[in-house]
Amino acid sequence: MPSAVAKPDPRAWFGPALAFVAAVTAMRLVALAFNHTDLFVDEAQYWLWGQHLDFGYYSKPPLIGWLLRAVTDLAGSDAPFWVRMPGAVLHGATALILGALGARIGGRSVAIWAAVIYVTLPFAALGSVLISTDTVMAPFYAAALLFLHRAAETRSMRDAALAGLCAGLAFMSKYAGLYLIPGFALAALATRDWRVGWRNLVVIAIAFATAIAPNVIWNMTHDLTTVEHTMDNVGWVRTGPALNFGSMASFFASQFAVFGPVAMAALLIGYTQWRRSDRRGLALLSVPPLIAVMIEALLDRTYANWAIAAYFPGTVLAVMVMTRPWRWLALASNAVIAVAIPALTVLAPWPSSGGAPLLKRWLGQSDLSRQIIAIAKSEGVPVYADNRAVLADLYYTGRDSGIVFYASPPDDRPMNYYEQMWPLPAEFRGKILVISDEAPDCGAGPVAPVKPLKLTGTWAGKALAAYVVEAKCVRDED
């Protein structure tokens, strides 16, 4: 009788995948140590959240603030490197988790390539140099998928509880974690590979509800702050829908840059392969974010990263669709961007385009803040600004300056975190340093700037200037 052919051990994927992911992550951390860009407005805000620990914040759930506080406290430093360092590590962890999911569904080759393709994806490369809520959500979303698949196979209450907990932590990182619910429901309806059983479904729901309860309660006791902000982002809820086919087409085209052109093409092909239950479940888990954001783009406008949740199951599906040559082509195309992004942050402010640094959006913030702080110290006054981006870096760069920073008092409800937490008090009397792109008029015509500001990077060409006025003047204008 012919001897039986031994099946490859699906666990044999981990060593090669770990070696590749660890090498990429290490190179990213080295590049991050030489990064010449300033913290972006959102990054500075996330750091600030961590200085005021709470169960929720103006625009997002709390996990990113908690994480940055833990990392910077352990490091003993608030330097940009430590604020951004979790990004590369979290994307590396996500790649290995998706490798584990790929091993369960497609075997060793799919596992290795899922990890390799994911860690080199354009959005993973960008998320490794700029910390974001997408990046914090990524490993929890991927882990929820892994434990859901395990619970469907083993019917283990432990796996179900871990699936619910990870889904809850994904939600506590970014509300896009909710896309897991419709995706999982569709996958479970379509194929038994994702059916966990009624008992485990209850366990998942309890674990999920327990994880998100602190943020839900926070919102209910804070005037539904993040709900209101989300409605602001979904503009058509406030102003009514308008069919914008150009916006929808632009968003769809942008996904080839976010996910990589080869991987995106493979994913779209994967959506058509309904006859294969292993691919059907992944497709249905991936589709809801894309459909939801496409509709939002049609009705109003979107950002390219709003459908990131589609690409956690989508990475495994795309790898299963691609043959070996196409996997190598996907890796090669991803590698160009994966190398270019950190290289540009190291070389900044070079290269330039049209006389301005290519990365000007991430330059000039700290330089402006230092100028403002120097003027405030020389004048002996606090700083007032109505620009969220100016305030974000002032609170970060000026964290040890001893200068007090104020935002605009809200007219109706706060329109940003700074208006919510540090509006200019109604009882404040005295002079303040106003940073604005319009000269205050205190009744005798526009006030002259106290000192010119040298505007570079993202502020180049703007009209920002510094004015010393009585606080009453600003309140009268408001």
Q: What is the mean pLDDT of residues 378-395?
A: 97
**pLDDT value at 236 more than 70:** no
**Within a 10 A sphere around the Cβ of 191, how many other Cβ atoms?**
19
> Is pLDDT at 238 greater than 60 in this prediction?
no
Given pLDDT bands bounded at 50, 70 and 90, which one contains residue 476? low
pLDDT bracket for residue 7 (50, 70, 90): very low
Place of tokens 């599906």: 317
The pLDDT, as a whole number, for residue 199 is: 98
123 within 8 A of 341, measured Cβ to Cβ: no
What is the SS3 assignment for 286? helix
Asked whether the beta carbons of 364 and 460 are under 8 A apart, the reply is: yes
* pLDDT at residue 367 in the model: 98
pLDDT classification of 1: cutoffs 50, 70, 90: very low
Chain segment 103-157, per-residue pLDDT in tens: 999 999 999 999 999 999 999 999 999 999 999 999 999 999 999 999 999 999 9
> Coil, strand or helix: which one is 54?
coil
Would you say residue 235 has pLDDT above 70? no
The lowest-confidence range among 3-7, 87-91, 413-417 is: 3-7
The pair of structure tokens assigned to 472 is: 């009453």
> What's the average model confidence in pLDDT over 452-456?
95
Query: What pLDDT shows up at residue 226?
Result: 80
Q: Phi and psi at residue 38, in whole multiples of 5°?
A: -85, 160
- Mean pLDDT score across all residues of the chain: 94
pLDDT at position 458 over 80? yes
Least confident of 2-11, 55-64, 254-263, 343-352: 2-11
Q: How far apart are CA 398 and CA 216, in angstroms?
A: 32
Q: Which of 426, 430, 437, 436 is nearest to 469 (CA)?
A: 430
- 335-342: average pLDDT: 97
* pTM assigned to the model: 0.94
How far apart, in whole angstroms, are the C-alpha atoms of residue 91 and residue 96?
9
Longest Cα–Cα distance of the chain, Å, equals: 104
pLDDT of residue 412: 80
**Cα angle 199, 286, 208; round to 5:** 35
Q: Percent of the chain having pLDDT more than 90?
A: 87
Question: 173-197 pLDDT, tens per residue?
Answer: 999 999 999 999 999 999 999 999 9
